Chains A and B, each alone.
Chain A
Amino acid sequence: MPEKLKNKEMIIEDPSVEQTKLRRRAFAGQILVGVIIVFFWEFLTRIGWLDSYYWSSPSTIVRTGWTAITQGTLLQDLAYTSGSTILGFILGTAGGYLLGLSFWWSALYSRIFEPYMIAFNAIPKLALAPVLVIMFGIGFDSKVILAFLMTIIVAAIAAYSGVQNVDPDLEKMLVSLGAKRRHVFMKVVVPTTIPWIVSILKINISLALAGTIVGEFISSRQGIGRMILYAGQVLNIDLVWVGVVVLSLLSIVMYLGTVWLERVLMKGRTPKS
């Protein structure tokens, strides 16, 4: 210690160095944990501690998956499921956001619709799935609509909370600068609500995926959900595992997508609330 003082070494705090270090180590740790899980899974099924009929095994899953890609329709199914999920997510989240924002314009209108929004949120939308499939057919549309319904109200409620959080003094300040309502909307309301909508992106992407999968379970000719259902019916448990693993990978990819989206939307801000 005294040596350091003698050298008069300046200590300049750079939080970003610490952050990068932490991030790298966390990433390495995450990979390590994954590898350990896969290893034990493989190991335990090989020595028979886990029944490989139920638990399959990583190597079998990879093999089965490869067959499903080359000889089956796994890739098309993946495209189908991710397509309807992402489309439903985008429509639902954007639609809900606009709906929530629209409540800013009129106190009367928002008062009237608030209870309906809450009631609709309370409905278990998945229970409506059979009706939706009958209404919109067993194709792509019904899956998109399920994903849409799963996400729209969550987004609307988040945006509405954001709207209620707009600082009235900021509004006053803008008005004193001659702002009309549309200026206040664009320059204060929208920016205030962005962190609110950003905070539900991750929830919504998984809700959208759940909606799509349930839609496929109920009735579908394509998709990972249908593949899992079919594999289960013919007792091809290895293929069920392939479906589960593919869905997990899909949600990880979509999760990373939302992280990227968050970053884009929050650009130039300190991510506080």
Chain B
Amino acid sequence: MSELKIVNCSKYYKKNGEPMCALEETDMHVENGRFVSIIGPSGCGKSTLFNIVAGLIRPSSGEVLLDGKDITCESGHVGYMLQKDLLLPWRSILDNVIIGLEIRGVPKKKARERALPMLKNYGLGGFEYDHPDALSGGMRQRAGLIRTLLYDQDVILLDEPFGALDAQTRMQMQNWLLQIWKDFKKTILFVTHDIDEAIYLSDEIYVFTHRPGKIKAKIEVELPRPRNEKTLMDDRFLTLKRELLLMLGEERVSSE
């Protein structure tokens, strides 16, 4: 069981003596096992919110609760994949994905034994001993995600993991992610710029306003699972898409 509550979290930075808002007071309630997306214009504070949830930065106000326990400013309670893949270039893929286990004190040999089947099952078989610069962008993202999964927290934050991939690879990776989500029964918070991606993957979508960001709307996605290419042609999909396009369009207009 894991239930994530973000209560009244905000973040202000001082810029030229003036307080500058990176994220306005935000409340969010993510239930166990849900796939929740956050969509919003660039600079609206999505990464800031994730950094707060992951305990990497201190919110200016508010708190983060995991199963009722206050985890504000404490790192290591949720899995977090940052916006870049951040693989260590001097380590092989295998040694990259086990780093979370290493930190936790699992002996290297054991950690490797645990990681190997996972790399095989999730499309990195044959590349275990390669270094990251020998891999394609999609494969690097897989490695980054497997690293996060091996860290084995119930809640996982993914900050635009597929942002840099081409449409084809992206689609593949989305299905791959849904597979993983099903296999591991995680709770996922997912940041994206891409409306189709948000609808295709999520149970619910939070739409953020342009900066300073705050929640503009919360949308339930009631498309049946498992989802596939046909989902993209579903009428409900298209209705949702139109709705979201309008909302984000308003944001674009008001930011100009």
Chains A and B belong together in one complex = yes
Does B54 have its Cβ within 8 Å of any Cβ on chain A?
yes
**How many residues in B have their beta carbons less than 8 Å from beta carbons of A?**
25
Of B86, B102, B104, the contact of A173 (CB 8 Å cutoff): B86
Chain B neighbourhood of A23, CB < 8 A: none
State A268–B75 Cα separation when bound (angstroms): 31
Residues of A within 8 A of B78 (CB): 176
* Interface assignment of A37: CB less than 8 Å from any CB of chain B: no
Say which residue of A176, A191, A194, A269 sits within 8 Å of B56 (CB atoms). Answer: A176
Per-position 1/0 for A165-199, Cβ under 8 A of B: 00101101111111100010001100100100000
Residues of A within 8 A of B67 (CB): none
A106 at the interface (CB under 8 A from B): no
Residue B1 interfacial (CB < 8 Å): no
B131 at interface by CB-CB < 8 Å: yes
Partner of B86, one of A170, A191, A270: A170
**Per-residue 0/1 for B126-154: is the Cβ within 8 Å of any A Cβ (1 yes, 0 no)?**
00000101000000000000010001000
User: With a CB–CB cut-off of 8 A, which chain B residues contact A175?
Assistant: 56, 75-76
B84-115, CB < 8 A from A: 84, 86, 88-90, 92, 99-100, 102-104
Q: Is the CB of A169 within 8 A of B82?
A: yes
Q: Out of A172, A177, A268, which one reaches B100, CB within 8 Å?
A: A177
Interface size class of A (residues with CB under 8 A): 10 to 19
Whether B103 contacts A183 by the Cβ 8 Å rule is: yes
Give residues of chain A (131-181) contacting chain B, Cβ–Cβ below 8 Å: 167, 169-170, 172-179
Q: Which of B51, B55, B75, B90 is in CB contact (< 8 Å) with A269? A: B90
Once the chains bind, are A174 and B80 in contact (CB under 8 Å)?
no
Residue of B nearest to A175 (CB): B75
What CA separation (Å) do A90 and B92 show in the bound complex?
30
| B133 & A270 in contact (Cβ 8 Å cutoff) | yes
User: What CA separation (Å) do A167 and B56 show in the bound complex?
Assistant: 15
| CB contact between B131 and one of A167, A170, A188, A268 (< 8 Å): that residue | A268
Q: Which residues of A contact B76 (CB under 8 A)?
A: 175-178
Q: What is the CA–CA distance of A188 and B87 in the complex, to the nearest angstrom?
A: 11
Identify 10 residue pairs between A and B in the complex whose beta-carbon atoms are under 8 Å apart, listed by A's number: A169-B84, A172-B51, A172-B56, A176-B56, A178-B103, A187-B88, A187-B99, A188-B88, A194-B90, A268-B90
Nearest first, the 3 closest Cβ-Cβ pairs linking A and B are A178-B76, A176-B80, A177-B100
On A, residues with C-beta under 8 Å from B are: 167, 169-170, 172-179, 183, 187-188, 191, 194, 268-270
